[in-house]
A = this chain, B = another copy of it.
Amino acid sequence: MEHPGERYERGLKALQFVSGQAEPAVVDAETAPDLARYVVEFGYGEVYSSPGLEPRDRQLVTLGALAALGNAAPQLRFHINGALNAGCTRAEVVEALTQIAVYAGFPAAINAITAAKDVFAARDADE
């Protein structure tokens, strides 16, 4: 039987992989400690860590979801970076976001490309 703390540990590792950071912070834990814990334990420790889909595949699904919703720019940038960390090339990310024009309209695709441009520039600056 799984020890409750294992979910958190497993989630943290997945989150570190996606973010490429040792101490990723996706939500203000001081303001909302439960939400911060749920992100790690449930979002990454359960759903993301489920063995049924490869990380690169998961990132493509997530790019589709966040770009189409169009109302979550910080998370879209986070997951564009995550897609690159999971093995997508920049060209594949651009192609995936371009495709959003067909399913959610050109504004959603254009704003997602702006997010991608920001992420690419930040990664270039980090090198």
CB within 8 Å of B: which residues of A? Answer: 1-4, 26-28, 31-32, 34-35, 38-39, 42-43, 46-48, 50, 52-53, 57-58, 60-72, 74-75, 91-92, 94-111, 113-114, 116-117, 120
Contacts and interface: CB of A to CB of B under 8 A. Distances in A.
A113 B69 contact: no
A96 B28 contact: no
Contacts of A1: 3-4
A35 to B, nearest CB: 4
Copies of this protein chain in the complex: 6
Nearest to A53: B95
Which of A1, A31, A39, A117 is packed against the most chain B CB atoms within 10 Å? A31
B63 A102 contact: no
Given A35-B94, A62-B99, 19 more contacts: A1-B4, A4-B4, A27-B113, A31-B120, A32-B116, A35-B109, A38-B42, A42-B102, A57-B92, A58-B99, A61-B61, A63-B64, A69-B70, A69-B71, A69-B104, A74-B111, A103-B105, A103-B106, A105-B105
